[in-house]
């Protein structure tokens, strides 16, 4: 323990919190189950709902997010496929050779993860995870001292900061999606354009300043050489050799002929094999899809950006990269495997939403918090509200359907622009992902880590971000 005492105050704080979390944090699935019990009991005690009624709310809520859940899985899967293309993997490998010490490595991974997640959070999550693992491997081979748990947190920083006010942010895109529930119920008069949210000066300033501040926090958190634990303490050395070839079939991914139907490749490919791997067949439909996406933005501008357009665009970008339909299908299958934990847990969190909504618990919590705000402090209060509820409902769009009405109505009463209210909410939802392990499941699988190995440092970063976000949300002009 003597070596643990060395280092700065920030380094010791990160180490202490990491020790506590590693000892006590449950698995992500158990986390969801425990939260279900917490909301169940809270609905009974706070709202006076009966146990049987709460069970009914839980069951009814289980199936309310199927459409949205599929949209989220598609964002993650399409981002995964693009991130695992050999061209992207080779770019990642080159990036890992840049840092000369552990602190530079952590900052580089964090900045790239945050920037890419702003573009597409699924891509940012997977690129961050792959980059963290590859950086850990390169550090081991080059003899650099890098604390692997913090490196993995850096790879998760896009989900913990920039994703929800970026190009694939659930709430901003949902508010610009025709026929969304807020328009249908008359909560807002019409669509809230991305020019008021994602592309507003308020949001862009938050993005730039947030990345700079988070990079500084990661730099200060990086442990001393004596306290750093490398990747080989968590991932067996045998699994680090040949990770590129093990993770993706580069022959198939580059559009080459696979041997799935031709045994060892010595037999003459059948006509169906040729069609399955035809770059012409895959390329034409891929370019058509990409062309449709480009035409949509050319004719409608950035206001066309919504969840469906984002998924459509990345679905065909992936196919354009792989060109071979069979190679793309195989890689997509791998991507879906990476989302299995999310698919399993999404209905449980939808059940939590059902209990919170139907019992009135979500409205009570949101109204209590929002009632203490003023026009000046409202963005910070919306951030806190979203952050608290995100512990129980770790789905940006799903959570927005829970508290969006309350936040938008309060913003209207206080004279706060609805776009600013959406962005402030999005900040809170992303921020507490740093203690909610739901969206980290793909990262944990890729990096070979457990949630409790990583989330001590993630929670520390979450705490360090609080003063910056509180000040930025209030002081940055909209």
Q: What pLDDT, on the 0 to 100 scale, is given for residue 110?
A: 97
C-alpha to C-alpha distance for 281 and 324, rounded to whole angstroms: 8
Q: Which residue has the higher pLDDT, 195 or 282?
A: 195
Which tokens hold the place of 286? Answer: 């891929």
Place 286 in a pLDDT band, splitting at 50, 70 and 90: confident
Which tokens hold the place of 56? Answer: 């009914």
Contact 349, 398 (CB under 8 A): yes
Q: Which residue has the higher pLDDT, 394 or 477?
A: 477
Q: What is the pLDDT of residues 62-107, one digit of tens each?
A: 887 787 778 878 888 888 888 788 888 888 888 988 999 999 999 9
Q: Which residue has the higher pLDDT, 161 or 324?
A: 161
**DSSP track, 238-254:** HHHTTHHHHH--HHHHT
Q: What pLDDT, on the 0 to 100 scale, is given for residue 334?
A: 82
Which H or E element spans position 103? helix 102-119
- 106-110, 189-193, 278-282: which range is least confident on average? 278-282
- DSSP letter (8 states) at residue 161: I
pTM, two decimal places: 0.79
Q: What pLDDT, on the 0 to 100 scale, is given for residue 36?
A: 92
Supply the mean pLDDT for the chain.
85
Q: Is the pLDDT of residue 245 over 60?
A: no
Q: What pLDDT, on the 0 to 100 scale, is given for residue 466?
A: 96
Q: What pLDDT, on the 0 to 100 scale, is given for residue 188?
A: 84
Question: Hey, where are the domains in the chain?
Answer: 3-250+337-475
Which tokens hold the place of 145? Answer: 């001292």
What's the farthest any 2 CA atoms get from each other in the chain?
74
Q: Which residue has the higher pLDDT, 363 or 51?
A: 51
Q: What pLDDT, on the 0 to 100 scale, is given for residue 241?
A: 56
Q: Is the pLDDT of residue 189 over 90?
A: no
Q: Which residues of 354-393 are buried (b: 16+ CB within 10 A; e: fewer)?
A: bbbbbbebbbebbeebbeebeeeebbbbbbbbbbebbbbb
Q: What pLDDT, on the 0 to 100 scale, is given for residue 303?
A: 67
Beta-carbon contacts of residue 450 (< 8 Å; ≥ 6 apart): 27, 444
Q: What is the pLDDT of residues 325-379, one digit of tens each?
A: 888 888 888 888 878 888 888 889 889 888 988 898 878 877 887 788 889 999 9
By the 10 Å C-beta count (0-12 exposed, 13-18 middle, 19+ buried), 455 is classed as buried
C-alpha to C-alpha distance for 177 and 214, rounded to whole angstroms: 31
Q: Which residue has the higher pLDDT, 279 or 5?
A: 279
Q: Is the pLDDT of residue 449 over 80?
A: yes
HSE-CB at 391 with a 13 A cutoff on CA atoms is 13
State CA 53 to chain mean position distance. Answer: 33
Place 243 in a pLDDT band, splitting at 50, 70 and 90: very low
Which residue is associated with the tokens 């490595």? 105
Q: What pLDDT, on the 0 to 100 scale, is given for residue 440?
A: 87
The helix/strand count (H/E) of the chain reads as 26, 0
Contact 391, 435 (CB under 8 A): yes
What average pLDDT does the segment 388-397 reach? 82
Q: What pLDDT, on the 0 to 100 scale, is given for residue 477?
A: 94
What average pLDDT does the segment 306-325 reach? 86
């Amino acid at each position: 323990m003597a070596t643990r005492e060395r280092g700065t105050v920030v380094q010791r704080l990160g180490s202490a919190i990491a020790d506590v979390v590693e000892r006590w944090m449950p698995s992500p699935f158990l986390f969801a189950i425990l939260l279900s019990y917490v909301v169940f009991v809270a609905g009974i005690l706070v709202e006076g709902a009966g146990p049987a009624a709460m069970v009914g709310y839980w069951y009814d809520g289980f199936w309310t997010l199927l459409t949205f859940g599929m949209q989220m899985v598609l964002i993650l899967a399409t981002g995964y496929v693009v991130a695992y293309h050999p061209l992207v993997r080779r770019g990642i490998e080159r990036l890992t050779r840049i840092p000369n010490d552990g602190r530079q490595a952590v900052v580089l991974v964090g900045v790239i993860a945050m920037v890419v997640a702003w573009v597409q959070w699924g891509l940012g999550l997977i690129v961050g995870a792959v980059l963290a693992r590859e950086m850990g491997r390169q550090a081991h081979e080059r003899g650099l001292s890098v604390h692997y748990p913090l490196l993995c947190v850096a790879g998760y920083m896009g989900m913990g900061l920039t994703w929800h006010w970026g190009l694939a942010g659930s709430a901003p895109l949902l508010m610009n999606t025709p026929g969304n529930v807020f328009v249908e119920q008359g909560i807002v008069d019409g669509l809230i354009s991305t020019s008021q949210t994602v592309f507003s000066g308020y949001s862009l300033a938050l993005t730039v300043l947030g990345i700079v501040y988070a990079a500084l926090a990661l730099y200060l958190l990086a442990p001393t050489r004596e306290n750093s634990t490398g990747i080989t303490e968590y991932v067996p050395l045998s699994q680090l050799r040949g990770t590129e070839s093990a993770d993706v079939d580069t022959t198939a991914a580059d559009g080459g002929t696979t041997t799935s139907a031709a045994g060892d490749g010595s037999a003459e490919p059948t006509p169906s094999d040729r069609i399955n791997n035809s770059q012409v067949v895959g390329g034409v439909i891929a370019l058509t899809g990409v062309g449709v996406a480009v035409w949509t933005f050319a004719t409608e501008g950035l206001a066309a950006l919504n969840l469906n357009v984002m998924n459509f665009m990345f679905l065909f970008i992936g196919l354009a990269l792989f060109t071979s339909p069979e190679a793309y299908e195989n890689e997509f299958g791998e991507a879906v495997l990476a989302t299995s934990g999310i698919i399993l847990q999404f209905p449980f969190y939808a059940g939590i939403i059902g209990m919170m909504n139907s019992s009135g618990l979500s409205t009570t919590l949101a109204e209590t918090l929002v009632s203490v705000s003023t026009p000046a402090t409202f963005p910070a209060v919306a951030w806190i509200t979203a952050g608290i509820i995100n512990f129980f409902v770790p789905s940006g769009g799903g959570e927005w359907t829970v508290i969006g009405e309350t936040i938008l109505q309060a913003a209207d009463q206080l004279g706060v622009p609805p776009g600013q209210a959406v962005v402030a909410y999005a900040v809170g939802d992303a921020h507490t992902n740093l203690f909610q392990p739901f969206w980290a499941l793909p990262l944990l699988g890729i990096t070979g880590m457990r949630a409790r190995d990583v989330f001590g440092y993630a929670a520390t970063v979450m705490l360090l971000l609080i003063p910056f976000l509180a000040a930025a949300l209030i002081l940055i002009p909209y």
